[in-house]
Amino acid sequence: MKMWSGRFETAVEASFDRWQRSFPYDRRLLAYEIASSKAHAEALAQAGVLSGQELSAVIGALGRILSEGVPADTDATIEDVHHFVERGVVEQAGDVGMKLHTGRSRNELIATDLRLYTRDSIDHVHVRTSALIEALVEKAEAAGMAAMPAYTHAQRAEPVLAAHWLLAYAEMFLRDIDRLQSCRERLNECPLGSGAVAGTVVPVDRQAVARKLGFDGPTANSMDATSDRDFAIEFVQHASLLAGHLSRLAEDLILFSSNEYGFVHLPDAYCTGSSAMPQKKNPDALELLRAHAGRVLGNAVALATTVKALPLAYNKDLQETQMPLFDTVGRTLAVLDVATGCLRSLDIDVPRMRIAATRGGMNAFAAAAFLARRGVPFRKAHELIGRAVQLSLSKKCELEELSTEDLGRCEIDVPLDQFRSALSLDAVLALHDVEGGTAPARVAAAIANVRERLESMQEPVGGRS
Ligand code: ARG
């Protein structure tokens, strides 16, 4: 039986009826629906609507529904998770089950379930993102003094420590966790008690209900609470930033693992072969990781445009916010595991990276800085080193291989040994001795700092499973 058939003369058209049901996907909210229903039943008992005996019958039924889950032969006419649970309580506990919906509405229930679901999802994403950061830090530590070229405009720019490059991603993911945490704080208010739109008519203790469900307190306005999904939009938008960061990491690794770069060797376990070309080892895991950003961003746009311009308060359009949210959560958890696994078994080709980090005039900036330290105005130093670069290109050598005469032709008048030692890889790296820079001591401090921040981020309560 439907929950609302009384007013209708004729039955709903069958294909529309099938199409409007959300149970095929909102059944994943079952545990939250049960928790919300328990809290509501207890509030009803406290308000005198249910007797002590009735309450235990309802609570017992709710517990059984949760432990049984959704049986395979479940009636296909179940409309949504709320319908499923209410019907189950009536089946198990008899007529008292019909009292459960006193003073509540599906509008407040779905708003509550989705907040609980999003809160748990944030905790799971937090734990998995922490594991990814941990893997980045471990790799950074293991990379030690390994140097690589840093690129701007996809052109070799300056040498950096490979650890510095890895920690750049750690920073991005730390901010992603931070954003999710602030979303969690904002969403942690309980809509129960809001009724369908105007607030419930039963004097339930909203503070107590909120506390039981782990919320900081009740929502402040029943129309807002039943009709906004900004918490879901925010979560998916944050997840799309996280996906964007993952896609950049994936892209770096895809490029760096190609023969052209050869900086890293990807683990076989995260690659696939070609059915046609026997020599191929394709970075499929990373490519899918890169594509994940497109899907999540699509979900973020779908969510924002679904809620945009909806008149207050609840509209059935809001049901359409569920799938983009669920899809984002499922995919995000999966890609984080893949990214972490892939990174953990990544092999960095230190000698090959070092060769790339010491070729192609990447010490030109350090050379100009060297002249500037000796009193040559930087613009002038830039010009002179630019000439030296041109000369080294025509001689097919590196800057530090130019002779005193060569330097003289470029109007560079410095002791050759000092010039050369200022251009060595170690000197160039050490030059960037500033907070946030790539000097080895700074990078070592950064590793410790990332670890500290990771540890100080509150470990989520429910996120381990
Ligand atoms: N399945 C619905 C949703 O996801 C639940 C709320 C239905 N409320 C209603 N008034 N039809 O939004």
Q: How close is the Cα of 200 to the center of ligand 1, in Å?
A: 17
Q: Is 342 helix (H, G, I), strand (E, B) or coil?
A: helix
Strands 217-218 and 189-190: parallel
Do residues 197 and 313 lie in contact, with contact meaning Cβ atoms separated by under 8 Å? yes
Domains and CATH numbers, the chain: 5-102 (1.10.275.10), 116-355 (1.20.200.10), 364-423 (1.10.40.30)
CA 435 – CA 268 distance, rounded (Å)? 37
Among candidate residues 349, 366, 375, 381, the one with its CA nearest the CA of residue 426: 366
With 0-12 / 13-18 / 19 or more C-beta atoms within 10 angstroms meaning exposed / middle / buried, residue 145 is middle
Q: What is the mean pLDDT of the chain?
A: 96
Task: Give the model confidence (pLDDT) of 265-300 as tens digits.
Answer: 999 999 999 999 999 999 999 999 999 999 999 999
Task: Give the model confidence (pLDDT) of 388-412 as tens digits.
Answer: 999 999 999 999 999 999 999 999 9
Question: H helices of 213-363, where?
Answer: 222-227, 230-257, 284-307, 322-344, 350-357
Cα torsion angle, 346, 446, 457, 115, sign = negative
List Cα–Cα distances, 18 to 25, 152, 241, 273, 383, in angstroms. Answer: 13, 54, 35, 43, 73
Give mean pLDDT, residues 346-350.
97
Q: How close is the Cα of 316 to the center of ligand 1, in Å?
A: 6
Give mean pLDDT, residues 333-355.
97
**pLDDT for residue 3:** 75
Do residues 57 and 93 lie in contact, with contact meaning Cβ atoms separated by under 8 Å? yes
**pLDDT for residue 464:** 42
pLDDT band of residue 7 (cuts 50, 70, 90) is confident
* 22 close to ligand 1 (CB < 6 Angstrom): yes
**Catalytic residue check, 222:** no
Ligand 1, atom nearest to 110 Cα: 5
- Residue nearest atom 11 of ligand 1, based on CA coordinates: 316
Give mean pLDDT, residues 110-137.
98
**pLDDT for residue 154:** 96
* 113 close to ligand 1 (CB < 6 Angstrom): no
Over 90: is that where the pLDDT of 320 sits? yes
* 325 close to ligand 1 (CB < 6 Angstrom): no
- The fraction of the chain above a pLDDT of 90, given in percent, is 94
**pLDDT for residue 179:** 98
Catalytic residue of the set 67, 153, 456, 465: 153
Q: What is the identity of the amino acid at 269?
A: A
**Catalytic residue check, 274:** yes
**pLDDT for residue 10:** 86
Q: Is 214 helix (H, G, I), strand (E, B) or coil?
A: coil
Over 90: is that where the pLDDT of 1 sits? no
**pLDDT for residue 460:** 73
pTM over 0.85: yes
**Tokens linked to 11:** 């039955």
**Tokens linked to 392:** 């080294």
Ligand 1, atom nearest to 106 Cα: 6
**Tokens linked to 216:** 């900081």
CA 47 – CA 51 distance, rounded (Å)? 10
Largest Cα span, the chain: 101
Q: How close is the Cα of 20 to the center of ligand 1, in Å?
A: 10
**Cα 418 to chain centroid, rounded:** 48
Do residues 239 and 125 lie in contact, with contact meaning Cβ atoms separated by under 8 Å? yes
Report the 10 Å Cβ neighbour count for 94.
Answer: 12
Catalytic residue of the set 274, 345, 403, 421: 274
From 2, 227, 316, 320, the mutation candidate for ligand 1 (largest count of ligand atoms within 8 A of CB) is 316
For residue 72, what is the DSSP state?
A: T
Which helix (H) or strand (E) segment holds residue 456: the answer is helix 440-456
Over 50: is that where the pLDDT of 5 sits? yes
Task: Give the model confidence (pLDDT) of 366-396 as tens digits.
Answer: 999 999 999 999 999 999 999 999 999 999 9
- The fraction of the chain above a pLDDT of 70, given in percent, is 98
Ordered DSSP codes for 390-438:
HHHHHHTS-GGG--HHHHHHTT--S-HHHHHHHTSHHHHHHH--STTS-
Task: Give the model confidence (pLDDT) of 129-170 as tens digits.
Answer: 999 999 999 999 999 999 999 999 999 999 999 999 999 999
Task: Give the model confidence (pLDDT) of 248-259 as tens digits.
Answer: 999 999 999 999
Over 90: is that where the pLDDT of 208 sits? yes
Q: Per DSSP, what are the bridge partners of residue 156? A: 151
* 42 close to ligand 1 (CB < 6 Angstrom): no
pLDDT band of residue 465 (cuts 50, 70, 90) is very low
